[in-house]
Structure 1
Amino acid sequence: MNHSIRNLLKKIPLSIIGAVALTGPVGAWAQDTVATTSAHKAQAPGFFRFKLGEMNITALYDGVATLPASFFKGIRPEDVENNWKNTHDYTPRGIEDSVNAYLIDTGTQLIMVDAGGSQCFPAMGELKDNLRQAGYAPSDVDAILITHFHPDHGCGISDAQGNALYNNATVYVDEKEAAYWLSAEQTAKAPKEMQGIFLMEQKAVAPYKASQRLKTFKAGATLFPGVKSIAAYGHTPGHTVYQFDSEGQTAVFWGDLVHSNQMQLNNPKIAFEYDFDQKQAIATREHILAQAAKNNWLIGGAHIPFPGLGYVRTMGTGYDWNAVKYQSTVK
């Protein structure tokens, strides 16, 4: 279109454009402009696809968790803040950490790793809409593998009324994790400020337990062909990462092994506020990071900036994060 015509149209109030039946290229352009103005402010849907072997992986965004600098242990809070400021990640409230889950189409099953925080946190709960935007319904999901029962990972399996959101899915979790968080005795023994976390998770799990769709497993169990669990204890008593193998390639979804790639990859000895056993969590992180770098695993990180997919490589005494690039998933 001629630039002078474009400039003229920009000066005409939209109410006039809407009242005049414009035709031809000028009319089509004007009507298209009016129709799409509001869409220009909307973010893209929170899903990202990546193909590994025969697996189709869809990263799903659920929202954010805000972490203050004081949550990172073994480092001065001012050093945490300076690090985040240098990487443009800092806000006055702390770092806004992505909350990610992953849907893996293995060719025979649709398996989700973690389910976000749903109604338990006001800054989360976008996963179900993003699942639909990605072309799936909750009823399509066959299995949900929970890395651990902190509510930003497990609360999203049910709604605020305690109804199951994934009516055809079976929930899988390490037996030690279930024994701890679903125990009335452990709930009563927990500090008062932690008891709410126990109750949130028990409410979310209840409909699956009632319908016998909650299954526990021992560490290292193979859950499905090409899918096995890896004990990653420390952050919680039964924290688990999940390994998916396809055509000689491996994807590992590591839950809360890392809460900040800037901090804990550079220095894996930095612990986190909610680590159940900080010493064990550090040892677990060091071991799995070494394996990930050595074996070139694709990583799905629950709190790595969305989509949280990438590779770990050694860098000095620590590690570096290489995020995956956008790619076509259509052959």
Structure 2
Amino acid sequence: MRQAPGFFRMHLGHFEVTALLDGTHPFPAAKLAVGARPGEIDGLLADEFLSSPFEGMINAFLINLDGRLVLIDTGAGDLYGKEGGGLVSALIASGYSPAQIEDVYITHLHEDHAGGLLKDGKMVFPKANIHVSAADFDFWTNNANKDQVGQLLQPFFPAIQKVLKPYIDAGRLQPFSANAALAPGLTARAATGHTPGHSFFLLQDGGQSMLFWGDTVHMAAVQFPRPDIAIEYDWKVPEAVSARKEILEEAAAKGWWIAGAHISFPGIGHVSKLPHGAYQWVPANYTLNR
């Protein structure tokens, strides 16, 4: 089934932000959830007229920083088969091309965030510098770390090394340190837990803020009302849960825009706080006033 082209555009201050849909895939929430009570996942999904598996998003985001094009994550590329790889089409439909991208910032080195760096063995973004956290780069490019993850994540090591190699060989891979200033208006924030170097990117301009939070939330229907529920993809569950709770509190208190990789497209909205440690996702109102 075809939909309209997978992009959504808005402004943050005078910066242009475009959400790009790479694809969707069946997400087996009941199977992958960690820390839920028996039957709880099915109940929370049913509250939003969903069931497990539900259709999970793979979102990426383009920022026009005064003419400098910056991409946040790349989608899955070829690594998820027909369930990913739509980012380039969405990018072109939005009026841009891969050759125009000057910087790619990766929230973390999982397949559905970095896989789109490569297509048919070739660099998708031939002119771009690729920025990844030093902690994630050191972890996923060292096969000695495989014993720190379960069988679900072990195939990520060769996959990530493959998509990074052409950029490393071309001298275009640039690791960044925790909480580094990246570009005018764009700052990294360490959010360790989901991976060793999982990072947020905070964009600020004109008194507004947007947080690109990577994999803070995989299951919106579950993890907003129950932020203490984790998933099997988390490297260290307690740290991932702590990072999620802290940023939910801060985002709700400060009224930030949020851009989420796995929230129903376009994955842009706000977080509001509810009683008893729960939160609610408030999606962006659709706009034609870019």
TM-score bracket, normalised by the shorter chain, equals: over 0.9
Q: For residue 171 of structure 1, give the secondary structure of its aligned residue in structure 2.
A: strand
Residues 1:66 and 2:40 are matched in the alignment:
no
For normalisation by structure 1, the TM-score amounts to: 0.83
On the 8 A contact 1:51/1:329 being kept in 2, the answer is no
**Overall identity of the aligned pairs, in %:** 35
Q: Residue 51 of structure 1: CA displacement?
A: 1.2
Instruction: Tell me the equivalent position of 1:212.
Output: 171
On the 8 A contact 1:89/1:96 being kept in 2, the answer is no
Q: How does 1:1-331 map to 2 (within 5 A)?
A: 42-68=2-28, 69-76=30-37, 78-90=39-51, 94-122=53-81, 123-161=83-121, 163-187=122-146, 194-317=153-276, 318-330=278-290
Q: For residue 123 of structure 2, give the secondary structure of its aligned residue in structure 1.
A: coil
Ranked by relative contact order (alpha carbons within 8 Å, sequence separation 6 or more), the top structure is 2
CA distance in 2, matches of 1:271, 1:191: 15
Q: For residue 195 of structure 1, give the secondary structure of its aligned residue in structure 2.
A: coil
Moved more, 181-190 or 140-149: 181-190
Alignment RMSD, CA only? 1.5
Q: Residue 188 of structure 1: CA displacement?
A: 7.5
Q: How many residues align?
A: 287
Structure 1 residues 188 and 275: alpha-carbon distance in aligned structure 2, compared to 1, 3 A threshold:
closer
CA distance in 2, matches of 1:230, 1:134: 28
Q: Residue 182 of structure 1: CA displacement?
A: 1.1
Structure with the largest fraction of strand:
2
On the 8 A contact 1:293/1:314 being kept in 2, the answer is yes
For normalisation by structure 2, the TM-score amounts to: 0.95
CA distance in 2, matches of 1:77, 1:118: 35
Q: Residue 295 of structure 1: CA displacement?
A: 1.0
Q: For residue 78 of structure 2, give the secondary structure of its aligned residue in structure 1.
A: helix
Q: Residue 329 of structure 1: CA displacement?
A: 3.2
On the 8 A contact 2:63/2:69 being kept in 1, the answer is yes
Q: Which runs of 5+ in 1 are unaligned?
A: 1-40
Considering only CA atoms, is the larger Rg found in Structure 1 or Structure 2? 1
Structure with the largest fraction of helix:
1
Q: Residue 184 of structure 1: CA displacement?
A: 3.4
Q: Which amino acid aligns with 2:62?
A: L
On the 8 A contact 2:85/2:116 being kept in 1, the answer is yes
Q: Which runs of 5+ in 2 are unaligned?
A: none
Q: Residue 77 of structure 1: CA displacement?
A: 5.3
On the 8 A contact 2:153/2:233 being kept in 1, the answer is no
